[in-house]
Amino acid sequence: MKKEYLLSPGPTPVPTDALLSMARPIFHHRTPQYQALFKEVNEGLKYVFQTNNDVLTFASSGTGAMEASVVNFLSPQDKALVVRGGKFGERFAEICEAYGVEVIAIDVQWGNPVDPELIERSLLENKGIKAVYTTLCETSTGVLNDIEAISKIVSRYDEAILVVDAISGLGADDLRTDDWKIDVVVSGSQKGLMIPPGLAFFSVSQKGWAHVDSARCPRFYFDLKSAKKAYDNNDTPWTPAISLVIALSESLKIIKKETLANIFLRHRRLADATRRAVEALGLELFAKAPSNAVTAVQVPQGIDGKNLVKLMRDKYGVTIAGGQGELKGKTFRIAHLGYMVEFDVIVAIAALEMALKDSGYGFSPGAGLVAAQEAFVK
Amino acid sequence: MKKEYLLSPGPTPVPTDALLSMARPIFHHRTPQYQALFKEVNEGLKYVFQTNNDVLTFASSGTGAMEASVVNFLSPQDKALVVRGGKFGERFAEICEAYGVEVIAIDVQWGNPVDPELIERSLLENKGIKAVYTTLCETSTGVLNDIEAISKIVSRYDEAILVVDAISGLGADDLRTDDWKIDVVVSGSQKGLMIPPGLAFFSVSQKGWAHVDSARCPRFYFDLKSAKKAYDNNDTPWTPAISLVIALSESLKIIKKETLANIFLRHRRLADATRRAVEALGLELFAKAPSNAVTAVQVPQGIDGKNLVKLMRDKYGVTIAGGQGELKGKTFRIAHLGYMVEFDVIVAIAALEMALKDSGYGFSPGAGLVAAQEAFVK
């Protein structure tokens, strides 16, 4: 017998109530019933985003909302400052380039957070930067960027907005959209929000909205003004992914009950235990400033990283994530994100130990589990 | 007690096996398990699209695939011929305009199909038209366009591709993608494919692909080349809406079992009975050439059309669709689309009779039911 465990940084496990809600007969979206549901969901999203701004919903994966964060604020030839410290920072740059936006890149060595000073310097050296793109948790490296410090800098520049990809970080790492004055926060459904992929979210500040009118990049499906007009009637301009919105209403109930403060504490607790366990196995953490969403670990010398992840999944039923982009085979990533508790960490570490043993890596079996358990019971 | 019946032209009812499949624990999409599933789904989509072309899947609503059908084939200032005979024809024109494409419109009175001759004439009069946009079933009016005749014309022009919005028509009205040489067919998940909204589909012919390289409209999320590259590995470039793909694999099993030929016969049978019933009630059909997906009916004089639809939904639990766009309050639409059988038509007509009676419309109660029943048992 093999049981399946999903411990990847997206998709993440979906709570049973949210899963079952998707099995309910579907209903029409142009009805008071749907509008009431969507209104409730929108209030819940504001709570998670820690904002009074509108949080708009798209039927798309997170990349769609990343595209929305480019095309609605910029014009071709505009300058965008993009922090490239992993695959998702790179994606922002690719989207800008696809729309003819000039990318000024801050290339950060993968595994490191961006130094906010570099953003200040770039803004000073390159006049007319219209938007700064960075990630909260760069999922590909597990790095957490210091958004509070970055926002303190960018918010002093009237002409520049700050766009934060919080797709995997939202609900795991604290992100105070309003308090920190973040103009645009982008997220997705299949991470801390604990439902399947297919919805993307987008909060916009007043300063952000002021940029929309002058932005000349073409857009239609991801047009913010269409989205906002419908949003004001608790609706979307195009047919919403109804069953996912229903599931979201269930997961938001769970989130509100636990409270954001407790959710952040839980993620930190799980992250700490995971890291102690990994280090107790003699492995090295990859991220210099790790997010509480995911722990990226360097594959030890002589071990086949791809095979390690495959063994965990195919032999033991435990799905974690391998390295992404240039890190393929060089890192693996254990998520502690969303609908996860202490025992998910215990399972992850137990499976990791088993697969490491199979791979011929030398360590004392149970050492990781002991370290995790010590962290939990301390 | 009130039971809920969904008889709208999207979303349509979801078969129980597809609903329940979405309640299964989610699994990761970068796995052999998902790739095998997606491969099976892609084969099923080819069957429904009646094509050997690739059928690409996006996590978006149908409008996203409509946008994809513009930005991947055209450049700003290119000429597009757009049939505007309803809200969805208009949407093609709006998307073209958003991307700076020159729209040459054929404005068809709502309720009528386009005369293919007009397309021939436009292609002759306006040199350099790169694409022709039309709908199979124009959902807003219930009209079926003669795609076979239109394609015979467009396929003679090497420089022009034919794009068909088959969002609501696919799986209800015959559409022979390959036999009729249709370059691009766009569809969505919440219609004849019988699953919730959130997926969009896109088939592309060889002639279509030949246009992609020269198309300079900017795109990223809806970029066909990214989609194709991933498709060749049974994957998508961005995180797929996994639970909807799982549901689709269930509904495709049902479709293959019934066979497309029988599905078309069933839709025709349901459409015929609905129309006889409506006419037996003294009501007038709106569409001059009706699709088998939906029956649009003119609201009789002196009756409040919006209230009629509201009564059916709120008092009787039967959700049909009101008029759309300029037809608001003037028509209503009863769908016989996807997971629907004879008894759904019976329910729709019974509820319609009840709401008409409440509205003070004069007719002989049961007259619609008798006509429907006669059509079914003949």
pTM, to two decimals: 0.97
Q: State whether A329 and A199 are in the same domain.
A: no
Q: For A237, which residue in chain B has the nearest alpha carbon?
A: B63
**Contact A242/B at CB under 8 A:** yes
Any B CB within 8 A of A377 CB: no
Query: Is the Cβ of A343 closer than 8 Å to some Cβ of chain B?
Result: no
Residue A369 CA to residue A92 CA, distance in Å, equals 38
Domain range for residue A110? 16-257
Distance (Å, rounded) from C-alpha B72 to C-alpha B75?
8
β B129-135/B79-84 pair status: parallel
- B168 to chain A, any CB pair closer than 8 A? The answer is no
- The rounded Cα A334 to chain-centroid distance in angstroms is 14
* Cα separation values, A10 from A169, A290, A295, A333, A349, Å: 11, 17, 13, 11, 19
Are A37 and A147 in the same domain? yes
- In the DSSP assignment, the letter for residue A327 is G
Taking the CA of residue A378 and the nearest CA in chain B, the distance in Å comes to 32
Inter-chain residue contact A242 with B25, CB threshold 8 Å: no
CA A288, A143, A117: angle at the middle one, nearest 5? Answer: 80
- Residues 6+ away with beta carbon under 8 Å from B146: B113, B114, B116, B289
Residues of chain A contacting B95 with CB distance shorter than 8 Å:
220
Distance from CA of A20 to the nearest CA of B (A): 5
Region B296-315: mean pLDDT is 97
CB A13 within 8 A of CB B8: no
Of A26, A64, A241, the CB nearest to B221: A64
Q: Do B13 and A25 touch (CB under 8 A)?
A: yes
Distance between CA atoms of residues A238 and A52, nearest Å: 24
Residue with tokens 């969002």: B167
Interface of B with A in 191-210 (CB under 8 A): 196-198
Pairing, β B79-84 against β B102-107: parallel
Kindly state whether residues A233 and A365 are assigned to the same domain.
Answer: no
Choose the closest CB to B218 out of A98, A223, A238: A98
Nearest CB among A14, A100, A196 relative to B241 is that of A196
Last residue of a domain, one of B202, B224, B257: B257
CB-based contact B187:B163 (threshold 8 Å): no
**Contact list, A321 vs chain B (CB under 8 Å):** 28, 30
Boundary of a domain, candidates B257, B289, B324: B257
CB contact under 8 Å between A319 and B31, yes or no, is yes
A233 and A274 in a common domain: no
Provide the number of structural domains found in chain B.
Answer: 2
Locus of tokens 């069957």? B47
Q: B86 — contact with chain A (CB < 8 Å)?
A: no
Which three-class secondary structure state does DSSP give residue B69? helix
How far B292 CA sits from the closest chain A CA (Å)? 20
Give me the CATH number covering residue B153.
3.40.640.10
B61-95 tens-digit pLDDT: 999 999 999 999 999 999 999 999 999 999 999 99
Q: Sign of the C-alpha dihedral, residues B50, B53, B56, B61?
A: negative
Is the predicted pLDDT of residue B132 greater than 90, yes or no?
A: yes
Q: State CA B4 to chain mean position distance.
A: 23
Same domain, A36 and A109: yes
Q: Mutate which of B220, B248, B324, B328 to disrupt the A interface (most A C-beta within 10 Å)?
A: B220
Contacts of B190 in chain A (CB under 8 A): 26, 239, 242
Which residues of B fall within a CB distance of 8 Å from A216? Answer: none
Q: CB-based contact (8 Å) between B243 and chain A?
A: yes
Reported ipTM exceeds the 0.95 cut: yes
Quick check: B196 and A67 CB within 8 A?
A: no
Could you tell me if A60 and B199 are in contact, meaning their C-beta atoms sit under 8 angstroms apart?
A: no
Is residue B191 over pLDDT 90? yes
**pLDDT range class, residue A258, cuts 50, 70, 90:** very high
Question: Mean pLDDT, to the nearest integer, of B323-350?
Answer: 97
Residues 291 through 330 of chain A touching chain B, CB cutoff 8 Å: 313, 319, 321
Domain match, B317 and B359 both: yes
- Judged against a pLDDT cut of 90, whether residue A378 lies above it is answered with no
Whether omega before A11 lies within 30 degrees of 0, making that bond cis, reads yes
Distance CA B193, CA B188 (A): 8
| Edge-to-edge strand list for the sheet holding A321-322 | A294-298, A331-335, A321-322
Residue among B21, B238, B248, B313 with most chain A CBs within 10 A, to mutate: B238
* Other beta carbons within 10 Å of A104: 16
Which A-chain residues 258-297 have CB contacts (< 8 A) with chain B? none
Q: Where are the beta strands (DSSP E) in chain B?
A: 5-6, 54-59, 79-84, 102-107, 129-135, 137-138, 143-144, 161-165, 184-188, 199-204, 284-285, 294-298, 318-319, 321-322, 331-335
Specify whether B306 is located in the same domain as B237: no
Q: Which of B188, B219, B319 sits opposite A28 (nearest CB)?
A: B319
Residue B163 sits in the same domain as residue B248: yes
In terms of domains, do A172 and A276 share one?
Answer: no
Do B97 and B235 lie in one domain? The reply is yes
Which CATH number goes with the domain that contains B362? 3.90.1150.10
Please indicate, yes or no, whether residues A173 and A320 belong to a single structural domain of this protein.
no
pLDDT in tens, B10-44: 999 999 999 999 999 999 999 999 999 999 999 99
Give the pLDDT band of residue B325 (cuts 50, 70, 90). Answer: confident
Which DSSP category does A290 fall into?
A: B
Count A/B contacts: CB-CB distance under 8 Å.
183
Q: Which residues of B touch A20 (CB under 8 A)?
A: 23
CA distance A210 to A205: 9
Q: Give pLDDT tens digits for A50-74.
A: 999 999 999 999 999 999 999 999 9
Q: Which residues contact B344 (CB under 8 A, 6 or more apart)?
A: B5, B7, B270, B336
Q: Which two tokens stand for residue B192?
A: 């004849």
> Does pLDDT of A32 surpass 90?
yes
| Span between the terminal Cα atoms of chain A, in Å | 34
Question: A22 and B100: CB-CB below 8 Å?
Answer: no
pLDDT of B319 > 90? The answer is: yes
Our CA-based measurement puts residue B42 at a distance from the nearest CA of chain A, in whole angstroms, of: 18
Distance from CA of B272 to the nearest CA of A (A): 24
Question: pLDDT tens-digit profile of B241-293?
Answer: 999 999 999 999 999 999 999 999 999 999 999 999 999 999 999 999 999 99
In this prediction, residues B309-316 reach a mean pLDDT of 98
Pairwise CB contact (< 8 Å): A319 & B197: no
Contact B197, A241 (CB under 8 A): yes
Q: Please indicate if any CB of chain B lies within 8 Å of the CB of A29.
A: yes
By the CB < 8 Å criterion, does B33 face chain A? no
Choose one of A207, A226, A257: the last residue of a domain. Answer: A257
B239 vs A62: CB contact, 8 Å cut-off?
yes
What pLDDT, on a 0 to 100 scale, did the predictor assign at position B285?
98
In angstroms, the CA A13 to CA A5 distance is: 8
A222 in contact with B, Cβ within 8 Å = yes
Please tell me if residue B103 touches chain A, with a CB cutoff of 8 Å: no
Cβ–Cβ contact B244 with A under 8 A: yes
Which of A235, A238, A314, A344 would you mutate first to test chain B, the one with the most B CBs within 10 A? A238
Closest chain A residue to the Cα of B64, Cα to Cα: A221
Confirm if A54 and A205 have CB atoms less than 8 A apart. Answer: no
Q: Could you tell me the pLDDT band of residue A355, with boundaries at 50, 70 and 90?
A: very high
Q: Is the pLDDT of residue A325 over 90?
A: no
Within this chain, do residues A266 and A253 fall inside the same structural domain, yes or no? no
| B190 at interface of A, judged by CB pairs closer than 8 A | yes
Q: Which residues pair with A144 in a beta bridge?
A: A137
